[in-house]
Amino acid sequence: GAVVSQHPSRVICKSGTSVKIECRSLDFQATTMFWYRQFPKKSLMLMATSNEGSKATYEQGVEKDKFLINHASLTLSTLTVTSAHPEDSSFYICSARVAPWGEQYFGPGTRLTVT
């Protein structure tokens, strides 16, 4: 199957700072990338959908100014958590899809802890 990588796998930052998470599709070009958030023992919550070269579409309740998404190329999307607070601590997972109706592959996730 296709491989999606995320970096970093774990990050600890102080409250008020910003942190950037990278998501790369390693062996395919992704027309669409997704960002999810997952709370302990809960399912995945879609935060936003991004297509290369266009603005991300955010789900209801997700602050676009807080969670900045850039999809600069067909293999790279970034999520920047701005002015992070402890409540932003979570497991963030990106996903990439080859074609509009293709399979969706997930990255290994990034554990963010805001102190």
Binding region for another protein (CB under 8 A): 1, 4, 6, 32, 34, 41-44, 46, 49, 57, 91, 93, 95, 100-101, 103-109, 111
CB of 4 to another protein, least distance (A): 8
CB of 93 to another protein, least distance (A): 5
Cα separation, 102 vs 40, in Å, equals 28
CB of 83 to another protein, least distance (A): 26
Q: Which is nearer to another protein, 20 or 109 (CB)?
A: 109
Q: Which is nearer to another protein, 76 or 109 (CB)?
A: 109
The residue among 61, 74, 81, 83 whose CA lies nearest residue 23 is 74
Q: Which is nearer to another protein, 16 or 42 (CB)?
A: 42
The residue among 3, 19, 2 whose CA lies nearest residue 11 is 19
Cα separation, 55 vs 63, in Å, equals 14
Exposure of 102 in the CB half-sphere (CA atoms within 13 A): 17
Q: Which is nearer to another protein, 35 or 88 (CB)?
A: 35
Cα separation, 86 vs 106, in Å, equals 25
